[in-house]
A and B are shown apart, each in its own frame.
Chain A
Amino acid sequence: MDTDKLSQNIRRRFDHNQAKRVLREKYQAKMLFALSGGLWCAGPELITHCNLCLANAHFQPVLLDTHGNPVKVDAEELKTQALQRWQEQMNAWHAEHAELRKQR
Chain B
Amino acid sequence: MSTGAIIFAFNGDIEYTRIAQECARRIKQHLNIPVTLITNAVRTYSGFDNQILVAGPNYGGVRSWADCDAPVTWRNSGRCDALELSPYDTTLLVDADYWIEDNTLRCLLEADGELYAHNTRQYINELTSKIETFGMLKTEMWWATVMVFRKTQFTKDVFDAWRMVEQNYKHYSQLFQFQQKPFRNDFALSLALLLCNGNTHPAQCAIPWPLINVPDNCSIDLQDNVWTLGYDVYENSEFKPKQIKIKNQNLHIMGKRNLEKLCELQ
Contacts and interface: CB of A to CB of B under 8 A. Distances in A.
B248 A100 contact: no
Most buried by B among A9, A15, A25, A41: A15
B243 interface: yes
A22 B111 contact: no
Contact of B129 (A19, A25, A33, A67): A25
Contacts of B244: 14-15, 18-19, 22
A19 B111 CA distance: 30
B224 interface: no
Interface string B163-202: 0000000000000000000000000000000000000000
B57 interface: no
Contacts of B219: 9
Interface stretch (B22-30, B39-47, B102-110): B102-110
Given A8-B241, A29-B104, A41 B249 contact: no
Contact of B107 (A8, A11, A34, A68): A34
B210 interface: yes
Contacts of B246: 19, 22, 26
Interface stretch (B79-87, B119-127, B252-260): B119-127
Interface string B53-88: 000000000000000000000000000000000000
Contacts of B125: 18
A32 B107 contact: yes
Contacts of B247: 96
Contacts of B110: 34
A97 interface: no
Interface residues of B, number: 36
Contacts, number: 84
Interface residues of A, number: 30
A28 B209 contact: yes
Nearest to B109: A34
Interface in A1-39: 8-9, 11-15, 18-19, 21-22, 25-26, 28-30, 32-34, 37-39
Contacts of B245: 14, 19, 100, 103
Contact of B122 (A13, A19, A25, A103): A25
B115 to A, nearest CB: 12
- B129, B210, B245: residue with the most chain A Cβ atoms closer than 10 Å: B245
Contacts of A80: none
Contacts of B204: 67-69
Top 3 A-B pairs ranked by shortest CB distance? A37-B112, A29-B209, A34-B110
12 contacts: A12-B242, A13-B243, A14-B245, A15-B242, A19-B244, A22-B122, A22-B212, A26-B246, A32-B104, A34-B111, A38-B112, A39-B107
